[in-house]
Amino acid sequence: MELGASLCTASILIAGLAVGVPFLRERIAETFLYSFCCVSAVLLRAMLDLTVRGTVRVARTVYAAAPPPGAITRPVPGLATRSL
């Protein structure tokens, strides 16, 4: 949703330049810079969000696979080793 909004904002600004809106024509560099920053900020936030979610998911998987240190584990009935 945010990416769509930032792309829409950037396209409106660039379309305004193409049409020749005086306010935007006076600030061409700022308009392009704002358009670029608007889209880049959303993409960067999405990338950081996905990185954090992936890290948390891996951490939970690793933590769930191994018992915490000092945990008392019970033997499973029927799987005990027999002495010969």
Query: How much is the average pLDDT of 1-18?
Result: 82
Any domain includes 74: no
Residue 8 has pLDDT above 80, yes or no: yes
84 domain residue, yes or no = no
Residue 18 has a pLDDT of 84
Domain interval for residue 61: 2-65
Total of domains in the chain: 1
pLDDT tens track for 36-63 = 888 888 889 999 999 999 999 998 888 7
Calculate mean pLDDT across residues 10-33.
82
In a domain, 25, yes or no: yes
2, 45, 84 from 5: Cα distances, Å: 5, 14, 72
Residue 80 CA to residue 75 CA, distance in Å, equals 7
What is the SS3 assignment for 3-42?
HHHHHHHHHHHHHHHHHCCHHHHCCHHHHHHHHHHHHHHH
